[in-house]
Amino acid sequence: MARQKSLGELEQRVMEFLWKHGPATGEQVRAAVGRTTTGETRPLTDSTIRTVLRRLEAKQYVRHELDGNQFVYSSAREPRKVAAEAVRNVLKNFCRGSLEELLTGLVDHRVVDSAELRRLAEKIEIEERKGKKK
């Protein structure tokens, strides 16, 4: 599998908008991404958004369809899949491919607590048992 290119800050904001709101025109993306969480506006030019959308399309995160005379952009990849690929890259590049090393690091640095990992292990075990019964 080809290595997935990472997202810049503005690209990430565009993807979050598309994942949350679904298909949108470049103008809709520009208007939404130009607003901060406090409601302030950060002016973005039309050409900036077109460039970001083009780059996202080249990275295969976004696709577009023609609706009349304008492009409508939508996510080409689900957030969970993007997250899984990012974790796979972290495993490969920082943890020598070891999931145990990654999870230990997450617990050591208080990103995840051990109780949460136990709950996940129990959930996985339950799902495994369900799969064996079928």
Q: What is the pLDDT of residues 41-50, one digit of tens each?
A: 778 899 999 9
What radius of gyration, in Å, describes the C-alpha atoms of the chain?
Answer: 19
CB count in 10 Å sphere of residue 50? 14
**Residue 11, token pair as written in the block:** 């690209």
Highest mean pLDDT among 23-27, 80-84, 102-106, 116-120: 23-27
**The residue to which tokens 């369809």 are assigned:** 65
| C-alpha torsion sign, points 115, 121, 122, 124 | positive
Q: What is the mean pLDDT of residues 32-44?
A: 75
pLDDT digits (tens, 9 = 90+) for 52-86: 999 999 999 999 999 999 999 999 999 999 899 88
